[in-house]
Amino acid sequence: MRTIQFREALREAMSEEMRRDKSVYLMGEEVAEYNGAYKVSQGMLEEFGPDRIIDTPIAELGFTGLGIGSAMNGLRPIIEFMTFNFSLVAIDQIINSAAKMLYMSGGQYNVPIVFRGATGNAGMLSAQHSQNFENWYANTPGLKVLIPSNPYDAKGLLKSAIRDDDPVIFMESEVMYGEKGEVPEEEYLIPIGVADVKREGKDVTIVSFGKIIKVALEAARELEKEGISAEVIDLRTVRPIDYAAIVNSVKKTNRLVIVEEAWPLAAISSEITYHVQKNAFDYLDAPIQRVNSLDAPLPYAPNLIDVILPSVKRTVESVKSVTYR
């Protein structure tokens, strides 16, 4: 199987869907003439033209509203945010228009729109450009929230998101755009709401998603050296969450550690913890542990960034605390 970059997988997904369906278009800052801030849309302007690859002013609230209106009128827009930190400017349109329109219109208006772009820490970008908002958006009825961790999942999930009749938040890690992975040349879709078991294990379940899945997998490899077998689950989707996959794994391993980049209060890990203790409490041999970013804005200094973000060391320590070894 061929190997391509994360950004190329996203580009292929968008291009294939635009060739398949003329109602699909891409709109955002620098997506056309500049080929995308991270070169995800490179070459798409030449193929599809300025009517379908549309550069916008620096006005997220405005072009998000335009996209939602066009979706209500039969188009399928992909709205790119240069970073999801900038989506806060448009959050009123996302939450109060896109997410609620089907409900408020009594089923008369679907909003088939994808909001996609970079999320989370990407190095020394400091407090205002290093945040995770997946738990914010996942809290909202009417939205679906997807966070792929590799090129294969990125392409399959994005194609499913574009075809979905509901608004989808599609979050990518800025530091993953250049990462490579195996992606088939033939068409495939990955269903929304289905987790992926990245690694089988019997002693503890580690749940994660997005780029932090790499921390979970590295921790599992370190734990294996000490005789601890960790099962690693990649959620891929945080709304809807594949609770069944998590609960079934916990029933096998009897222990759970959740690794997540977001701050700890009201995080995705909090919701998973509640659900597992409600539905698999009798199977737990130890309290559920969470490894989140520390409850503080992300600093600029790289040594402090390392302290705040979830790490292999903190994950290994959390696993050992529940396996009593």
Q: In sequence order, which residues have a C-beta less than 8 Å from that of residue 139 and are 6 or more positions away?
A: 266
Mean pLDDT by 10 residues, the chain (325 residues): 97 98 98 96 97 97 97 98 96 97 96 96 87 96 98 98 98 95 97 98 98 97 97 98 98 98 96 97 97 94 93 97 83
Q: What is the pLDDT of residue 325?
A: 56
Comparing CA positions, the residue from 212, 217, 192, 240 lying closest to residue 149 is: 212
What's the pTM?
0.96
Whether 245 and 100 share a structural domain: no
Report, as residue numbers or ranges, the catalytic residues: 60, 129
Whether 154 and 205 share a structural domain: no
Within a domain: 27: yes
Residues 218 and 45: beta-carbon distance below 8 Å: no
Q: How far apart are CA 148 and CA 10, in angstroms?
A: 11
- CATH code of the domain covering residue 268: 3.40.50.920
Whether 146 and 173 share a structural domain: yes
- CATH code of the domain covering residue 38: 3.40.50.970
Within a domain: 156: yes
Q: What is the pLDDT of residue 123?
A: 84
Task: Write out the residue range of the structural domain in which residue 309 sits.
Answer: 196-320
The domain tally of the chain equals 2
Q: How far apart are CA 203 and CA 270, in angstroms?
A: 22
Whether 34 and 84 share a structural domain: yes
